[in-house]
């Protein structure tokens, strides 16, 4: 219940009007000039930007980028308001280092919620029953989806299966039977565990019958993984959004499983390898630089997200905002025997070629040894494993440029490979370092 005054209600309506007018297209220059001026003014009140020169758009375009590291090192210096003015307090759960404190004013919550809700409006039609299997504590992800459902007026329930003392798998299955959700918001790792569990118990036909769509968020998900999950559930599976706790949501899914930039709430630029920054081109690739236009508790100008993205894919869904493909960070890749393994490439092999319900990569410290361990699906033909291993090796040579020293099949992988905690990096959850003798 964040709307507790006429002012806040009017802000919801104003945000809705502005976003419906400018999102799903590329707004005019005048719109950005106005929004960036306001953002600059707010930034002037922070310690981090206290030395800002007089504003002009030309000055803005010459301003040094702010790195994620700067933000993480001195998070308080980017705050515009004291903690007691916040409506919500969150922390980011970065894959490295300390959590970043992230207070949010009502303005932050309202603008981000409305922007995402308007982007997902077609995906969440009237009377859609929404199940939110995301964590509620400390991180904002479940609150955001709840806010979107409230704004759109869709019935919804939160049920994170790891809320000790409240919710577990048995409770969740009963809840699904009563509530019969059509759309499920879920982290990829939790989706793996849930799918496996209901198939083990023979409940898949019953529980998947009403589910038409799964919206994945909280962790990286790949297209081959989504396709595999879609077949298990006979549902459409989408990568729901892209963004971070520091910036708010930067792109949201359309029905064609593409991510469209949220152009009404962010000003995007692209950094080249030589560090030059240019306004967002129609097509091309580089590191995404963003100035969020409606951050109030914290301000950041020209934040280098560190994420490599590609632009230029056309989408005929009706959303005219640019489509991006996030190829991740160079630092997220793992080098093994000269091959650079990325989550996308590995999952193309694993989920593209097999029915495995999970995987683990084992390497030694120098990266000279590589073993692939696959988790057998509930129904599985063990006699076909040798043939499957051959197929995997062939596909790995082509896609990864690597042949595995060993391919193993196990009945169950450790739960850490399907963390679903929205905080583990791929490297931590799906890699294990072993001694040279394996």
Q: Which residues bind Zn ion (CB under 5 A)?
A: 254, 256, 258, 315, 317, 319
Q: Which two tokens stand for residue 17?
A: 């009007």
Q: How far apart are CA 129 and CA 20, in angstroms?
A: 24
Q: Which residues contact 374 (CB under 8 A, 6 or more apart)?
A: 350, 354, 356, 358, 359, 407, 408, 409, 410
What is the nearest approach in angstroms of Zn ion to the Cβ of residue 314?
A: 9
What is the nearest approach in angstroms of Zn ion to the Cβ of residue 316?
A: 7
Minimum CB distance to Zn ion smaller for 199 or for 258 = 258
Minimum CB distance to Zn ion smaller for 36 or for 321 = 321
Q: How far apart are CA 308 and CA 327, in angstroms?
A: 5
What is the nearest approach in angstroms of Zn ion to the Cβ of residue 214?
A: 18
DSSP secondary structure string for all residues of 350-389: HHHH---S-EEEEE-TTS--EEEEEEPPSS--GGGHHHHH
What is the nearest approach in angstroms of Zn ion to the Cβ of residue 336?
A: 35
Per-residue CA distances from 7 to 10, 17, 150, 310 (Å)? 5, 15, 18, 40
DSSP code for 438: -
Q: Which two tokens stand for residue 270?
A: 């692209």
Minimum CB distance to Zn ion smaller for 256 or for 329 = 256
Minimum CB distance to Zn ion smaller for 24 or for 156 = 24
CB 91 within 8 A of CB 99: yes
Minimum CB distance to Zn ion smaller for 127 or for 314 = 314
The values of phi and psi at residue 372, to 5°, are -110, 125
Minimum CB distance to Zn ion smaller for 12 or for 317 = 317
What is the nearest approach in angstroms of Zn ion to the Cβ of residue 187?
A: 23
Q: How far apart are CA 99 and CA 72, in angstroms?
A: 8
What is the nearest approach in angstroms of Zn ion to the Cβ of residue 25?
A: 12
What is the nearest approach in angstroms of Zn ion to the Cβ of residue 129?
A: 24
Angle, alpha carbons 230-236-237 (nearest 5°): 70
Q: How far apart are CA 428 and CA 438, in angstroms?
A: 18
Minimum CB distance to Zn ion smaller for 95 or for 212 = 212
CB 262 within 8 A of CB 231: no
Minimum CB distance to Zn ion smaller for 24 or for 199 = 24
What is the nearest approach in angstroms of Zn ion to the Cβ of residue 253?
A: 8
Minimum CB distance to Zn ion smaller for 7 or for 316 = 316
Q: How far apart are CA 252 and CA 233, in angstroms?
A: 22
Q: How far apart are CA 357 and CA 373, in angstroms?
A: 11
What is the nearest approach in angstroms of Zn ion to the Cβ of residue 259?
A: 8
Q: How far apart are CA 399 and CA 403, in angstroms?
A: 10
What is the nearest approach in angstroms of Zn ion to the Cβ of residue 318?
A: 7
Q: How far apart are CA 224 and CA 230, in angstroms?
A: 10
Q: How far apart are CA 417 and CA 373, in angstroms?
A: 11
CA 75 from chain center: how many Å? 22
Minimum CB distance to Zn ion smaller for 261 or for 421 = 261
């Amino acid at each position: 219940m964040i709307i507790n005054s006429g002012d806040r209600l009017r802000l919801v309506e104003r945000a809705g009007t502005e976003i419906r007018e400018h999102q799903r297209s590329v707004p005019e220059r005048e719109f950005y000039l106005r929004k960036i001026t306001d953002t600059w003014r707010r930034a002037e009140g922070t310690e981090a930007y206290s030395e800002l020169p007089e504003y002009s758009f030309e000055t803005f375009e010459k301003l040094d980028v702010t790195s994620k590291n700067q933000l993480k090192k001195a998070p308080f210096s980017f705050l515009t308001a004291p903690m007691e003015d916040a409506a919500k307090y969150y922390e980011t759960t970065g894959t490295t280092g300390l959590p970043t404190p992230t207070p949010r004013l009502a303005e932050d919550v309202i603008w981000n919620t409305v922007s995402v809700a308007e982007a997902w409006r077609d995906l969440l039609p009237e009377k859609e029953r929404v199940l939110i299997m995301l964590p509620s504590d400390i991180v904002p992800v479940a609150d955001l989806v709840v806010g979107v459902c409230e704004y759109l007026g869709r019935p919804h329930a939160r049920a994170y299966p790891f809320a000790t003392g409240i919710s577990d798998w048995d409770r969740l299955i009963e809840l699904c039977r009563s509530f019969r959700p059509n759309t499920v918001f879920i982290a990829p790792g939790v989706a793996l565990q849930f799918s496996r569990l209901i198939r083990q118990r023979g409940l898949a036909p019953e529980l998947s019958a009403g589910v038409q769509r799964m919206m994945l968020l909280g962790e990286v998900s790949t297209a081959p993984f989504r396709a595999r999950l879609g077949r298990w559930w006979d549902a459409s599976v989408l990568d729901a959004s892209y963004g971070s706790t520091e910036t708010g949501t930067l792109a949201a899914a359309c029905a064609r499983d593409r991510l469209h930039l949220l152009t009404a709430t962010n000003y995007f630029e692209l950094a080249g390898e030589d560090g030059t920054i240019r306004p967002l081109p129609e097509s091309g690739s580089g590191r995404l630089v963003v100035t969020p236009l409606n951050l109030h508790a914290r301000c950041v100008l020209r934040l280098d997200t560190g994420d490599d993205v590609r632009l230029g894919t056309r989408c005929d869904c009706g959303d005219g905002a640019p489509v991006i493909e996030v190829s991740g960070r160079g630092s997220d890749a793992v080098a093994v025997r000269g091959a650079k393994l990325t989550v996308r490439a590995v999952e193309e092999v694993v989920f593209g070629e097999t029915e495995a319900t999970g995987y683990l990569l084992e390497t030694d410290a120098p990266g000279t040894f590589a073993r692939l361990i696959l988790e057998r699906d509930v129904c599985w033909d063990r006699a076909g494993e040798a043939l499957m291993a051959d197929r995997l090796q062939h596909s790995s040579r082509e896609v990864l440029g690597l042949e595995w020293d060993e391919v193993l099949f196990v009945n169950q992988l450790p739960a850490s490979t399907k963390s679903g905690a929205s905080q583990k990096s791929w490297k931590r959850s799906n890699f294990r370092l072993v001694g040279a003798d394996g």
